[in-house]
Amino acid sequence: MSIERTLVLVKPDGVVRKLSGEILARVEAKGYTLAELKKVTATREQLQAHYAEHEGKPFYEPLVEFMLSGPVVAAIFEGHRVIEGFRALAGTTDPTTAAPGTIRGDFGRDWGLKVQQNLVHGSDSVESAEREIGIWFA
């Protein structure tokens, strides 16, 4: 058994569209355990740390501005292979091509025309998860 933790964010588009509950319910229904939960308005410093790997890319500044545009819901979920499992629930990064049945595939396109408006964030590795949990649940 490899019990992991992952950081999940419902991004500002998900919060403003009142999809936080639906998104968290899908993660719980899959069998993962909600360990921590809060609604928070991010600071620029938090986002710079969170998205450090993307600094310098063309979408970096719009991404940070978007994440500052409203509150996010931050959660820690726990479970067997939850990092991979949540990313499967979320779907691929671009909501246009995310598979139907995934969070991004089901909700991600009519609303936002930008790739960053893709509803959720999920950590991509054990190392990222621990680093990101430290940023959002210090």
Annotated catalytic residues are 121
Nearest distance, CB of residue 1 and ligand DAT, angstroms: 25
The residues in 105-124 that bind Mg ion, with binding defined as CB under 5 A, are: 124
Nearer to ligand DAT, 24 or 120 (CB): 120
Tracing tokens 């409203």 back to the chain, one arrives at: 70
Helices (H), ranges, the chain:
12-16, 20-29, 44-50, 60-67, 82-90, 103-107, 126-136
Check residue 50 for interaction with ligand DAT (CB under 6 A).
Answer: no
Q: Is 66 annotated as a binding residue?
A: no
Q: Is 104 annotated as a binding residue?
A: yes
Check residue 96 for interaction with ligand DAT (CB under 6 A).
Answer: no
Count of other CB atoms within 10 angstroms of residue 55: 10
Which among 18-26, 33-41, 75-83, 113-121 is the span making contact with ligand DAT, rule CB under 6 A?
113-121
Strand order in the sheet with 120-122: 33-40, 72-80, 3-10, 120-122
Nearer to Mg ion, 26 or 132 (CB): 132
Count of other CB atoms within 10 angstroms of residue 113: 9
In the chain, the amino acid numbered 16 is: V
The annotated binding site for ATP is made up of 11, 59, 87, 93, 104, 118
